[in-house]
Amino acid sequence: MLFLDLWFWQFAAIAVAVYLLCPQRLKVAWLLIASAVFQVHFAGPAGAAPVLVFALLTYAAPLLTPRQRGPSPAVAVITLLVGALTFYKYAAFLRDSAASLLQLVGVSLPHAVTAWHAPAIPLGISFFTFEFIHYLYEVHAHGRAPIRHPGQFAVFAIFFPTLAAGPIKRFPDFVPQLETPRNPDWAMWCDGVRRVILGLFRKVCIADTLADVATAMEATRVFTGPLVISLAVVQGLRIYHDFGGYSDIAIGLAKLLGLRVPENFNYPYRSTSLQEFWRRWHISLSSWIRDYVYIPLGGNRRHRTFNLLLAMVLCGLWHGAAWNFAAWGLYHGAGLAAEGLVRHWRPRLFEPGRATQLLGRAFCYSFVSLGWLLFFYPLDTVGQMLVGLARWSW
Amino acid sequence: MADAPNRFVRVLRSGATIVLYAAMLLAVLAMWNPNAPQFIYVAF
């Protein structure tokens, strides 16, 4: 239950209080102890092992002398992290997809493969692997200085407010704060308390109420046009307040410790274009995808449409091992590509102005809301919903 | 003396903010559900 667990709030109260009372030289050590307790409590000792092993490898790789031949240690560990993420999150999905495909040509997988049970997914693997890859990439490709202090690296790796679901931190912004950790000033402390309360309110009072509304709507099983539209709007608001609430709590807790972590949302439903939406929605993930997938693929320089589609499909699949997430990513990739073409052919449509902004906002909100159906429901259910939508007569 | 109205507005605004967040906290406690669904993104 993480942030909704009573244990967590008792733990957080002690963690923050002791941190504030700690002398400066002990603050990093205390953060590390508190984060380790959090990790072991929610993931268990076995569940904590993967993050420990990958953190050790990530810490050590840039400090090793690169060999004359063969891949550098940083590249080897990036490959290992991508492999581990694929194994833990996607092995069963890939196996089941391959089995379905092979069944079409009358071939079945061996029993040992179909009977294999995938191991439990380590807590926060999607988030900490992305932070580690970012760290290794920045040190290896951009020549940034590696983190030498093992305690500071360990806190970057398992910082408890952001461990389970981000925001995905960037080490050049986060680690310097650990060099001279300070208690928050009064304004920062108040802002931290405010964000924690706001986050809890958004989750408990808004998102969970909307979840109940969505469940009641789904129970009708007859997807009429108005129902489908309403579901799209309700789910869109639900996920915004659910994840926005989570992010508020994480950012607020970090502020109570005098630390700043990245913002994740900036009023995304005010966006006037899809490009703007992705600069305002889950910012720490979308900027990660831009910096470590889209730009290395070639970005806007060559094969822009292909790069966009691939980056967004990967972004979709990052959310879960299911085809509907891939379809959601493809939907947004296609939308962004089409918007890029319109921007090229009809730049006036994107010029500032009340009418263009209103039109852009309405289009963007409708497009994004409809997309949430792909995010929340299996593809066959979305198919039924679209049929209901197409049959809708005024 | 010219600062007095501004100061009054500031105090009023701070008071309203405290009342608002206290009300939000009360609402959270009133609606707290130990069986509430997990945060969506924690599953990712």
- Convert the pLDDT of each residue in A130-179 to its tens digit: 999 999 999 998 989 999 999 999 999 999 999 988 899 999 999 999 99
Tell me what pLDDT residue A9 has. Answer: 92
- Lookup result for tokens 């009133």: B30
Span A3-23, mean pLDDT?
Answer: 93
**Could you list the active site residues of A?**
319
* Segment A197-235, tens digit of pLDDT: 999 999 999 999 999 999 999 988 788 889 999 999 999
Span A48-69, mean pLDDT?
Answer: 86
A230-243: b (≥16 Cβ within 10 Å) or e: ebbbbbbbbbbbbb
Span A312-331, mean pLDDT?
Answer: 94
Tell me what pLDDT residue A128 has. Answer: 94
Which residues, 6 or more positions from A276, have their beta carbon under 8 angstroms from its beta carbon?
A364
Distance from CA of A53 to the nearest CA of B (A): 20
Chain A residue numbers with beta carbons less than 8 Å from the beta carbon of B31 are: 204-205, 208-209
Distance from CA of A164 to the nearest CA of B (A): 6
Neighbours of A112 (CB within 10 A): 7
Span A111-120, mean pLDDT?
Answer: 82
pLDDT > 70? residue A87: yes
Quick one: pLDDT band at residue B44, thresholds 50, 70, 90?
A: low
Cβ proximity of A250 and A261 under 8 Å = yes
Question: A377: left (phi > 0), else alpha (psi -120 to 50), else beta?
Answer: beta
Looking at every residue in chain A, the average pLDDT score rounds to 92
Tell me what pLDDT residue A67 has. Answer: 63
pTM for the model stands at 0.90
Quick one: pLDDT band at residue A66, thresholds 50, 70, 90?
A: low
CB-based contact A197 B28, cutoff 8 Å: yes
Nearest Cβ partner for A208 among B21, B33, B43: B33
Tell me what pLDDT residue A272 has. Answer: 93
Tell me what pLDDT residue B43 has. Answer: 65
Helix axes A379-390, A354-376, angle to 10 degrees: 130
What percentage of chain A carries pLDDT values higher than 70? 98
Nearest Cβ partner for A239 among B24, B33, B40: B40
